């Protein structure tokens, strides 16, 4: 667990990159491949690389530090952004992907 806490910023960055990659693959699977199976797989990959581990890392960090530090605050911001403004951004990205892959 101490390794997780020591490397928390690197892990968060890697998870965020994987989440964005799975988001782009999800859009490609939906509009480029037109595959429900790959869309579902990429949706699960997004949950596994994005939301779930970030929340778990925030909880573990708070449990170890017993305070709301910058790391926990950043995770709350990322999750909060995703639940508010991020939805609008994803809709725009979805429309862009639909137009891009329907050519």
Q: What is the pLDDT of residue 21?
A: 92
* Residue 50 token pair: 């994005």
CA distance 42 to 24: 9
What whole-number distance in Å separates Cα of residue 35 and Cα of residue 103? Answer: 17
How far apart (Å, rounded) are the C-alpha atoms in residues 78 and 22?
Answer: 17
N residues, the chain: 103
Sequential pLDDT tens for the chain (103 residues): 788 889 999 999 998 899 889 989 999 999 999 999 999 999 998 888 888 899 999 999 999 988 899 999 999 998 899 889 988 998 999 999 999 887 7
Please name the residue that has the structure tokens 């725009």. 92
Structure tokens at 91: 């809709």
Q: Which of 48, 57, 92 is nearest to 78 (CA)?
A: 57
Name the pTM for this structure. Answer: 0.79
Alpha-carbon gap, residue 79 to 57, rounded angstroms? 12
Write down the pLDDT at residue 102: 79
């Amino acid at each position: 667990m101490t390794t997780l806490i020591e490397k928390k910023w690197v892990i968060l960055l890697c998870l965020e990159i994987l989440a964005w990659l799975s988001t782009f693959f999800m859009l490609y699977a939906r509009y480029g491949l037109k595959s429900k199976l790959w869309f579902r797989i990429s949706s699960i990959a997004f949950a596994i690389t994005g939301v779930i581990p970030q929340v778990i890392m925030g909880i573990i960090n708070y449990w170890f530090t017993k305070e709301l530090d910058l790391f926990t605050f950043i995770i709350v911001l990322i999750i909060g952004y995703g639940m508010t403004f991020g939805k609008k951004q994803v809709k725009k990205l979805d429309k862009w992907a639909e137009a891009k892959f329907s050519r």
